[in-house]
Amino acid sequence: MSRTIIVGVTAGIAAYKAASLVRELIKAGHDVHIVPTPASTQFIGTATWEGLTGNPVHTGVFDAGGADHIELARRADLIVVAPATADFIARTRAGIADDLLTTTILASSCPVIIAPAMHTQMWLSQATQDNVETLKSRGVIFIAPEDGALGSGDFGVGRMAAPQAIAWRALNVLTGSAGNESDLALTGCRVLITAGGTREPIDPVRFIGNSSSGRQGVALARAASDAGANVTLIASNIDASILNELPSGISIVSAPSAAEVEKSVMERLNHIDVVIMAAAIADFRPKAAHDSKIKKDPLSTEAPTIALEQTTDILAAVAQSSDRPSVLVGFAAETGTLDEVLELGRQKALRKNADLLAVNRVGHGHGFGDVDNSVYVLDHLGKMVGQASGTKSIVAQELISMIALRLGTIAR
Ligand code: CTP
């Protein structure tokens, strides 16, 4: 169903990126009206916005005559402001209505999404953070800026979130998928999720492992189950206290090593609609595990050499299988700057051929363990199609909504 969306554009270099956002929203079938602030037209002129949307564009309250601002505010189903400057956020918080955009927001009752873009210091300043907190407490949805290269040439947090990610969130808000519509979006759907981190035995007491806690996979299992799916969780070395959080309907299969995960996944494939590979699976394992504990020679300082062999790339094997599920989702844990992480993710998406690849920035407090998560979701060509950040449970719900969209079990 076509809805009326107002896109507010304020005076930042990222204004040009709003064009991609507008195109995504129009592509999804919506009637988009641009309301730029007067200063933003120094970056992108009104003719561009009129050309893109086919709708007239005004910046001042009385430009269109009469009570046009009230009329548009009343009709709007959603307002998205991208990019939003610190000044715009401050004026909105204070309820100042000195241009058409701030007036329209004040006169509307629909959901409002704000995607800030500004210099790091401005974003981190107490004034901006207070304004953001206050607006959030009034129900405004913020899409946090990312870290990366800024228009000023500096590097830090403040870059506007990707237009596709903003569009994704906007469409989600419109379909109400954060609320009730997606709740039973996967009814009857059979979902298999791998979670945790594998351990590859060296001898009976030692192994090669990794620090994945399994929390993101467990959150996905819960979200899929909450959405009505029939869930099987292939669990690799997940703490019982984490597994205990799961509802009783989920079937849990223990698979400590890569070989056991491979067997558990492949033998179930022909009964499965969705596979989500969230586990950190070893790429290499010892060629042969020792039958007995490897002992230190007290007379020698030599260390044993452990020969490794590659494990099967299970995600790629599922992608190539004749029983390939309707939706195959992979995860990519990468380190580096955001740009490096996205490029590695893009290459991996092309290599793995999953339908969706959730790229996860790990290390330095990101990704692993009991911390919030932030994932960028790419399609099989490496194009970003969504972003989710927040607690692992919120990220899981967003991913499950994206999967439901792919399956066509919820409409945009
Ligand atoms: N994966 C898999 N089988 C493996 C290794 C990984 O199915 N033997 C899956 C993971 O569950 C994840 C995705 O592949 O969904 C990406 O895992 P990752 O370790 O990031 O990628 P690799 O292919 O191992 O690439 P690299 O380690 O070189 O980055």
Residue 284 reports pLDDT greater than 80? yes
Do 345 and 334 meet the contact criterion of CB atoms below 8 Å apart?
yes
* Nearest of 160, 118, 204 to residue 7 by alpha carbon: 160
* Cα–ligand 1 centroid distance for 396 (angstroms): 19
Residue 67 reports pLDDT greater than 70? no
For residue 251, what pLDDT is reported? 95
Question: What confidence tier does 374 reach under pLDDT thresholds 50, 70, 90?
Answer: confident
Question: What tokens were used for 316?
Answer: 């790629």
Atom of ligand 1 nearest to the CA of 332: 20
Q: Give me the mean pLDDT over the 51-60 stretch.
A: 94
For residue 165, what pLDDT is reported? 74
Percent of the chain with pLDDT over 70: 92
Residue with tokens 């189903």: 77
Mean pLDDT over the full length of the chain: 89
For residue 394, what pLDDT is reported? 80
Residue 104 reports pLDDT greater than 50? yes
Residue from 315, 340, 360 whose mutation best tests the ligand 1 pocket (most atoms within 8 A of CB)? 315
Residue from 285, 348, 375, 380 whose mutation best tests the ligand 1 pocket (most atoms within 8 A of CB)? 348
pTM reported for the whole predicted model: 0.64
For residue 332, what pLDDT is reported? 94
- pLDDT, tens only, 116-174: 999 999 999 999 999 999 998 999 988 878 766 777 777 777 888 878 778 877 887 88
210 has catalytic annotation: yes
**E strand or H helix at 232:** strand 230-236
Amino acid at 164: Q
For residue 164, what pLDDT is reported? 75
Residue 189 reports pLDDT greater than 60? yes
- pLDDT, tens only, 237-276: 999 999 987 888 899 999 999 999 999 999 999 989 999 9
Considering the candidates 131, 172, 210, 237, report the single residue annotated as catalytic: 210
Q: Of the given ranges (72-86, 221-235, 272-286, 362-376), which has the lowest mean pLDDT?
A: 362-376
Closest-CA residue, ligand 1 atom 27, reads 283
> Counting beta carbons within 10 angstroms of the beta carbon of residue 196, is it exposed (0 to 12), middle (13 to 18) or buried (19 or more)?
buried
For residue 365, what pLDDT is reported? 53
Residue 412 reports pLDDT greater than 50? no
Atom of ligand 1 nearest to the CA of 357: 15
Question: What tokens were used for 146?
Answer: 């990312």
Rg (CA), the chain: 24
Residue 215, Ramachandran bin (φ over 0: left; ψ between -120 and 50: alpha; else beta)? alpha
For residue 185, what pLDDT is reported? 73
For residue 146, what pLDDT is reported? 75
Residue 254 forms beta bridges with which residues?
235
Q: Is 332 in the pocket of ligand 1 (CB under 6 A)?
A: yes
Q: Is 311 in the pocket of ligand 1 (CB under 6 A)?
A: yes
Closest-CA residue, ligand 1 atom 14, reads 315
397 Cα distance to chain centroid: 10
* Cα–ligand 1 centroid distance for 195 (angstroms): 12
- pLDDT, tens only, 11-46: 999 999 999 999 989 998 999 999 999 999 999 999
